[in-house]
Chains A and B, each alone.
Chain A
Amino acid sequence: MKTNKTIPEHIWQFFCSARLAVYTLVLLALTSIIGTVVLQNGSEDDYIKFYGHGWANLIKTFNFDDMYHSWWFLGLIVILCINIVVCSIERLSTTWKIIFPKKITFNTDRFRRLKNLETFTLNKSLSELTLESETLLSKSVGPVIKEETEAGIVLYAEKGRWTRLGVYVVHTSLLLLFLGALIGSIFGFKANLNLDEGQTSDTASLLTTRNPVQLDFSIRCNEFEVRFYDTGAPEEFRSNLTLVQDGKDILTTDIRVNQPLRYKGINIFQSSYGSAPPDQVTLEIIAGQDNATMVRTIKIGEEIQLSDEKTQFKLEGFLPHFDFSGHDLGPTFIGRIFEADGKSFQIGLPLKFPTFDKMRKGHYAFVIKAAEQKHYTGLHITKDPGIWYVYAGFMLMIIGCWITFFMAHESYFIEIQTSGEKTSNLSISGTSNRNSQGLRLKIRKLCHTLKG
C-alpha cells in the first residue's frame, strides 16, 4: 500500500468505494422521506400557516419546499453518478481480462478442493466415460477443454462469462436515466393550455414559471365531452382537437386521459376541464302591459329592439359570480336596457334562477329559456427530447437486472481416473459467481445423467 497518495488519488479512492455508494443510497432514501411529509411547492403563506415562522424559515433555507430539485438533493445524485462512473472504470479495467480472456484456463487443484465435489465409481473404461462426459458437458454447458494429467483426464466447460457485465449494464442504465432527465429539463418543457370549445391558440403557459411558450402550430378545441357513470364518478374526458398550421387544418383527432396526441415531438394530454362562459342565451321576453312574449336567442354584445320599438336591450356579458345585495347568485348574464328617454340600467340574469328578472317588475321581464353550457378543456402540453434516453435506461435496467440476478458465470469440472479393470472414478465439481445453490442442483443433475 502506498501511504503518500496525491490529492487526485485520494479523490479517486473516495469515489471508487462501495461504501460511498451505500452511504449515498442511505442518504437518498432518508432525505426522500422529507418531501413526502413536508408540503411541496406551496406558497410562503402556506408554510407559515402550517409550520409556523421558525419551521418555515428552516424549510426555506434547506429548500425542503421543493426538495427534489434542491441543490443538495441533486448533489447527492451527482455524487452517485460520479461514484458509478469511477467504480465502473476502476473495476472494469481489472475484470475486463476476466470477462474477455485471450485463452480460457482453469486451475485443476482448485476444482479438486471445492466443497461441492462429488466422486463416484462407474463400471466403464476411461475412454468410454471421457467421451460420455465430453458430450454431456458440451451439450449442457459449452465448449469443452480436455487435458491429460498424470492419473487421467480432466474436462472443463463454462458458460455465461459475459454475464459478469450485467452489473455494468444496470449502472449504465442509471446514468442514462439521469442523462434523459437532464436533457428533458434543459431542452423540454411542461405547459398548460386551457381552450374553450371553439377556441384556437398556439400559446401555452409554462407549469413552473407561467411564462408563455409558443408552439409551431395552433390547437383548436372543437368539442369537449365529459361522461359520468351512474355512480356519479367520471367515466371519460374527451377533447376533439384540430391542429392548425399556416391557416390549414392538418390533423383532427380525439384525445382522452391515457390517449394523448403526439405530434412532431409535442405531446398533448387531456389533463382537466371546466365550465367555459356561454356566449349566447335564449331569452323569453315578457312585455309588462299585455303579457305578450317573444323568444330570442342573443349573442353577447348583441343589441335588440323590444316590442314597443323604443326600448332596446343589449346583452353585455357573462359573469361567473354575480353579487346581488351581498348574495352570490352564481353564473349570471349581464344585460342593459336602454329606455325611450335615453336612460339605461343594468340587469342581472342568473342561470340558477331563470325567472329572477320578474321580481324587478319592470316594463319587460327577461326569463332564461336556455343557455348552452360550454366547457373548456385543460390540456397539458409537453416536449421531452430526453424521453428516449429514459426509456432506453428503463430497458437496460430490466435487462441488466435479469442478467445480474438470474444468470451466472458457471464453470464445470470433471476428472476421470482409471480405478481398476473396466472401472473408473469420476469427480465432478463446479463454480458459479452467484447462485451456488442452483449450481449444486445442476451438478447433481449431471451426476444423475452420468450414472445412467
Chain B
Amino acid sequence: MNSSFLLSTTTFIYALATIFYVGSFAFKKQILAKAGFVVLVIGFLDNSAGIILRWIESYQLGYGHAPFSNMYESLVFFSWTVAVLYIFVELKYKESIIGVFASPLIFLAIAYASFDPSISNKISPLIPALKSNWLIAHVITCFLGYAGFAVAFGFSIMYFVKPRNPEAESIFAKLPSWELIDELTYQMVVFGFLFLTIGIITGAVWANSAWGTYWSWDPKETWSLITWFVYAIFMHLRMMKGWSGKNLAWISIIGFIAVLFTYFGVNYLLSGLHSYA
C-alpha cells in the first residue's frame, strides 16, 4: 500500500459522501445526510493517512520534505483543509444539510488532482528556495484561508437558492434560517481572512529570509493581496455599511473567484516564483 493508492481511494470516498449529501437534500432524507457525514469522516481519515504516508515516502526516497510542494500535493491538501473545516462546522452547528454546498468542493479538488493528466503525482525533490521550515507554516495557513473562503462560497450559494417565502414547496425550503446562513458565511470568511493574513505574512517573512525582500509584487503575491482586499471590503461593508444577504454574498463569491485565480490562474496564465501554487 502506498500514498497514491490511499489518495485515489480518498477521491472515491469523497465522491460517495457528496452523493449521500446531495441525495439527502434531493429526497429530504436526514438519514442520508448522516451517512454522508460518516463517509466524509472516513474519507478525511483516508486523506490524512495518504498525506502522512506521502510525507514518509518522501523521506524514504531521500528527499525528505513535507508534501506541499507541487500542484498535486497542494490540491490533496486543499481537499483535506476544506474537509476538516466542514467537519468542524457540522459538528459545531449540527446542521448537515449544508454539506450539499461543501462536499462537492472537497471532492472536486482531489478529483482534479487525480484525474487531470497534466498534474503529476510523482514525489519530486525540493529546489533550494523551498527548503525552509517556513514552507510548512506558509502552506498550511494559506490553505486554511483558502478552505475558509471555499466553504464561505458554498454557503453563499444558499442565498440564491433558498426561497424568500417560508411556505414554499421548493426542495431548498429546508435550508437553515437566514440568520444561521449569515452567521455561517461570516464565520467562514472571518476564519479565511485570519488565515490568509497569516499566510501572506509567513510568506513575506520567508521571502525576506530567502531573498531579502518581503514583498516583490510577484503575481502570486499580488493576487493574494487582491484577494485580501476583496475580503477586507467584505468586512467593511458588513460592519460599517450594514450590508448583508445577497449583496454581501456576491462579495464572498467575487472573493472566491479571486482565490481561484490566485491558486490556479496565476500558475497557468502568469509567471512567478511559486512552483506549485
Contacts and interface: CB of A to CB of B under 8 A. Distances in A.
A64 B238 CA distance: 33
Nearest to A29: B229
Contacts of A270: 128
Given A35-B217, A36-B266, A25 B229 contact: yes
A234 B130 CA distance: 11
Given A29-B233, A233-B124, A235-B125, A269 B211 contact: yes
B41 interface: no
Contact of B125 (A233, A381, A382, A398): A233
Q: Which of B124, B217, B230, B266: most chain A Cβ within 10 A?
A: B217
Contacts, number: 109
Contacts of A283: none
Q: Size class of B's contact patch?
A: 35 or more
B197 A234 contact: no
A236 B204 contact: no
A258 interface: yes
Contacts of A36: 219, 222-223, 266, 270
B128 A401 contact: no
B226 A29 contact: yes
Nearest to B258: A29
Grouping DSSP codes into helix (H, G, I), strand (E, B) and loop, the A interface class, with mixed when no group exceeds half, is helix
Contacts of A26: 229, 233
Interface string B189-217: 01001100110010011001111111101
Q: Which of B193, B214, B266: most chain A Cβ within 10 A?
A: B214
A308 to B, nearest CB: 52
Q: Which of A256, A267, A437: most chain B Cβ within 10 A?
A: A437
A234 B275 CA distance: 14
A369 interface: no
Contacts of A398: 194, 197-198, 201
Interface in A270-323: 270-271
B236 interface: yes
A231 B125 contact: yes
Contact of B210 (A40, A257, A402): A257
A217 interface: no
Interface residues of A, number: 48
A380 interface: yes
B239 to A, nearest CB: 8
A360 to B, nearest CB: 44
B205 A391 contact: yes
A402 to B, nearest CB: 7
A205 to B, nearest CB: 15
A437 B193 contact: no
A405 B232 CA distance: 12
Contacts of A68: 217, 222
A272 B234 CA distance: 41
Interface in A385-401: 387, 390-391, 394, 397-398, 401
Nearest to B182: A437
Contacts of B198: 398
Q: Which of B204, B225, B226: most chain A Cβ within 10 A?
A: B226
Interface in B219-277: 219, 222-223, 225-226, 229-230, 232-233, 236-237, 240-241, 266, 270
A382 B212 CA distance: 6
Grouping DSSP codes into helix (H, G, I), strand (E, B) and loop, the B interface class, with mixed when no group exceeds half, is helix
A22 B236 contact: yes
B214 A390 contact: yes
B129 interface: yes
A21 B236 contact: yes
Contact of B194 (A28, A37, A260, A401): A401
Given A36-B219, A398-B197, A29 B230 contact: yes
A345 interface: no
A380 B201 contact: no
A229 interface: yes
A353 to B, nearest CB: 33
A40 B217 contact: yes
B233 A35 contact: no
Nearest to A400: B197
Given A387-B214, A398-B197, A405-B190, 17 more contacts: A22-B236, A28-B229, A29-B233, A35-B222, A36-B223, A190-B212, A233-B125, A234-B127, A235-B128, A257-B131, A258-B132, A260-B212, A269-B212, A271-B211, A390-B214, A401-B193, A401-B194
Interface of B: 63, 124-125, 127-129, 131-132, 180, 183, 187, 190, 193-194, 197-198, 201, 204-205, 208-215, 217, 219, 222-223, 225-226, 229-230, 232-233, 236-237, 240-241, 266, 270
Q: Which 9 A-B pairs have the closest CB atoms?
A: A18-B240, A29-B229, A257-B128, A382-B212, A36-B219, A258-B132, A405-B190, A229-B125, A269-B212
